[in-house]
Structure 1
């Protein structure tokens, strides 16, 4: 039940983050703002994670882990309730920022914990098990939250997220055992980890490798309805298809990362870039688009275990802070995604062009992965 309680927290936080993709037009219409402006709600949440990752992790480094986890989940509940009650767009932006502040630190504590207790050589699979809650948030929470938003209003969606997180909080209080503090070293000692070139490259890979697919997912609903021609009522089903792909991709990505971490990561990024480019061509061929949605979900989540494990391995004695900052790197990609998509829609070549732009952005992550792979091989040759 300890693992389940943490998984349910991850499920709640993931649903709260990604469900905005399914209710974006509803939020925009109700608050009388444009869809690109509503897309900045994703950026606000991402900014909260970017700031909160290092700041909250350092500030709470001396807290016992159970106390820390309980406090983090409580803040997430407050942020989602604030989102539901927000009277205007500006307040909603602030509430999304608050909700995002604690997420990176929670993921970091959870991931660093499971990696520390995993069998040697099975670290990536352990990360994949934690990430299952994220997959379930995509496959179940996001479409369910979208349906709730479509029938009861987008505010009811955030109330539902807050209630789920509250249930998870109760389970954490009941089943999470007393654990040592998240960090036993000095803050300065932990911060020194970021002078390591390997850690810098690993965090940069997370940001560059994810920015393309996150840009597409941020504007998933208008892309599916306005470009793909799907009815609005079908969007939750398509999100379910995406989530099913995510579950499979998470499992396979963990297995591949255990065996050939950087080689598999480079291959997955190449496949992701190709899928995004193909979506540009075939977005309005609905049967093919459904297949591509599944593949996109699989590839988007197959790259995560390898990226997370790379950071933990490079960070050495300061994995919690490094993973938190790595989560911030992912959210930096999300923050840029909201802005890039808004520019493409308002001032750029138009909504459909998000697909090829996302493919090009993913290629930058691929190039970095290839550089890191070459660097690893050179290091092995020097050591032999």
Structure 2
């Protein structure tokens, strides 16, 4: 695989670290800025909002920039945002910095997916995309725990300084390793927006949103679920989070390979597997060993979904893929918020900790149904599906 994919993976690693590290240092941040934990929680919500609005916004204003220049500009904004977070003198400043940092998130993965797919020959596109997304998966396994430990042991501000250094490394890597656009075709806003009138594009975006809403409905409450149902202690909870992260790394790679062989079947298989293992978790969550194994399986299944959905979106959008590909990330963050709200609501009204995974399985099945509809919709998708 081209070395340029390593530079994109480093950028993805930094983005993943900055998105999820806040969850680990939230109490420390709240204490340092003299705000409540619920108020500090808006720093996570603010980031998600920034991702949702940033993906289409940055694509819309990108004008005639080349894709390489767009990647560089977005990683510069990312780096500046993290430095601003590290230096934040107040809660309001930190909230603004988090939103700024989030703005390039979706657009980076959208533009990066298009660039990654174009770096390799036909038939290896999904694997190239999965290699870029491997940085995001590895961030969950290595980056987030390390950032959390550093933030709690030394200072949460140092966490964002270190993440800024990753941003600088990504900027250098993209500048040196990512080739200049072979034949620069300006991103035309009308064409990009027109892609959203195509049923396969909208359906594929919905596939990713519903599928990952199922994941977040379950995973958002994995700690209290394991504690209450399986009697898991701190060590088991740490192992569960690690298994989910490792599973997502494996699933991401597997999903890329399957998608290159048969794109739509890869989506069907990953969503069916996700629905099955989410439903299974409602049973296995009552035993510590089986619960841990199942959490790892959820990581594998969820990781398998992203590469084929990303590639399907790019192909369905045809000659105007950038905004559509970026919007996949917007959909995933909507899924994050909606899935967590659904899972919390089910627990809150008394259905118990097993209910979110059953609801998650239902959402994954809805995603599977939408995928079937997407494959039947007329679209100029290249051969290989």
TM class by shorter-chain length? 0.7 to 0.9
**CA distance change for structure 1 residues 93 and 229 in 2, over 3 Å: closer, same or farther?**
farther
Q: Does 1:268 align with 2:278?
A: no
**CA distance change for structure 1 residues 185 and 128 in 2, over 3 Å: closer, same or farther?**
closer
Q: Which moved more, 1:232-241 or 1:49-58?
A: 232-241
Deviation at 1:350, TM superposition (A): 5.5
CA-based RMSD of the aligned residues comes to: 3.1
Deviation at 1:239, TM superposition (A): 2.8
**Residues matched between the structures, number:** 378
Task: Please list every run of 5 or more consecutive structure 2 residues that lacks an aligned counterpart in the other structure.
Answer: none
**CA distance change for structure 1 residues 70 and 224 in 2, over 3 Å: closer, same or farther?**
farther
Look up the match of 1:118.
120
Cα deviations by residue, 1:236-293 (Å, 9 ceiling, x for unpaired)? 5433322221121112111221223223322321221222222233324221122112
Deviation at 1:21, TM superposition (A): 4.3
The counterpart of 2:36, out of the listed 13, 20, 33, is 33
Partners of 1:111 and 1:277 in 2: CA distance:
31
Q: Does 1:251 align with 2:228?
A: no
Equivalent positions of 1:190-209 (< 5 A) are: 190-209=192-211
**CA distance change for structure 1 residues 58 and 218 in 2, over 3 Å: closer, same or farther?**
same
Task: Please list every run of 5 or more consecutive structure 1 residues that lacks an aligned counterpart in the other structure.
Answer: none
**CA distance change for structure 1 residues 204 and 78 in 2, over 3 Å: closer, same or farther?**
same
Look up the match of 1:217.
219
Q: Which moved more, 1:53-62 or 1:71-80?
A: 71-80
Cα deviations by residue, 1:269-319 (Å, 9 ceiling, x for unpaired)? 122122222223332422112211211111111011110111011010011
**CA distance change for structure 1 residues 182 and 292 in 2, over 3 Å: closer, same or farther?**
farther
Q: Which moved more, 1:228-237 or 1:66-75?
A: 228-237
Look up the match of 2:280.
278
Deviation at 1:220, TM superposition (A): 4.4
Structure 1 length-normalised TM = 0.86
Equivalent positions of 1:4-15 (< 5 A) are: 4-15=6-17
Partners of 2:237 and 2:296 in 1: CA distance:
13
Partners of 1:150 and 1:331 in 2: CA distance:
26
Structure 2 length-normalised TM = 0.86
Q: Is the 8 A contact 2:5 2:128 kept in 1?
A: no
**CA distance change for structure 1 residues 316 and 18 in 2, over 3 Å: closer, same or farther?**
same
Partners of 2:249 and 2:164 in 1: CA distance:
24
Q: Does 1:357 align with 2:347?
A: no
Q: Is the 8 A contact 1:21 1:217 kept in 2?
A: no
**CA distance change for structure 1 residues 64 and 49 in 2, over 3 Å: closer, same or farther?**
same
Partners of 2:161 and 2:364 in 1: CA distance:
34
**CA distance change for structure 1 residues 233 and 162 in 2, over 3 Å: closer, same or farther?**
farther
Q: Which moved more, 1:90-99 or 1:50-59?
A: 90-99
Q: Is the 8 A contact 2:200 2:379 kept in 1?
A: no
Deviation at 1:55, TM superposition (A): 0.9
Secondary structure of the residue aligned to 1:102 is: helix
Look up the match of 1:43.
45
Partners of 1:170 and 1:318 in 2: CA distance:
28
Equivalent positions of 1:295-374 (< 5 A) are: 295-344=297-346, 349=351, 353-373=355-375
**CA distance change for structure 1 residues 153 and 345 in 2, over 3 Å: closer, same or farther?**
farther
Deviation at 1:207, TM superposition (A): 1.0
Q: Which moved more, 1:149-158 or 1:271-280?
A: 149-158
The counterpart of 2:107, out of the listed 105, 108, 120, is 105
Cα deviations by residue, 1:163-221 (Å, 9 ceiling, x for unpaired)? 22222223333444443687425321221111111111111111111112133334444
**CA distance change for structure 1 residues 77 and 227 in 2, over 3 Å: closer, same or farther?**
farther
Cα deviations by residue, 1:338-372 (Å, 9 ceiling, x for unpaired)? 44355456566465543333233222212222333
Equivalent positions of 1:61-210 (< 5 A) are: 61-86=63-88, 90-179=92-181, 183-184=185-186, 186-210=188-212
Q: Is the 8 A contact 1:61 1:181 kept in 2?
A: no
